[in-house]
Amino acid sequence: MNTANLQLQGLLLAVASINNALVHKGLLSIDEIDLALRKAEASLTGEERLFEDMSPANRDAICFPIRLLQLANNSQGESSMPGFSELARMVGQTKEHYNDQM
């Protein structure tokens, strides 16, 4: 596996853990983090020039980190946060088609 991919996996899990700590310390709510992540994805997908020139696979790739962090954020009530592989699988299962894929 590419070393950069492993570094990104570690970074995403670190950010997910930080988000979890922010919620448990009462600094942010799960809903506030979810809203921030939704705004980030909307900002990406709203850039028509950039987003329309991308293949669906590239669109999924650019949105993957945000979607993984959303799932990790929304899994906080469980006993422990799912690992990277489980979160990545969940991202794949929950993604929707883009308008030009229907």
Q: What is the mean pLDDT of residues 5-33?
A: 94
**Does 66 map to a domain?**
yes
Q: Does residue 17 form part of some domain?
A: no
Q: Does the residue 89 lie in any domain?
A: yes
DSSP structure class, residue 28:
S
* CA gap 100, 82 in Å, rounded: 32
For residue 89, name the pLDDT band (cuts at 50, 70, 90): very high
Q: 66: domain range?
A: 29-95
| Residue 16: inside a domain | no
Alpha-carbon distances of 17 from 1, 49, 55, 73, 81, rounded to whole Å: 24, 33, 31, 9, 8
Instruction: Tell me the percentage of the chain whose pLDDT exceeds 70.
Output: 87
Q: How many domains does the chain have?
A: 1
Q: Is 21 domain-assigned?
A: no
Task: Kindly state whether residue 5 falls inside one of the protein's structural domains.
Answer: no
Please state whether 69 falls in left (phi above 0), alpha (psi between -120 and 50) or beta: alpha
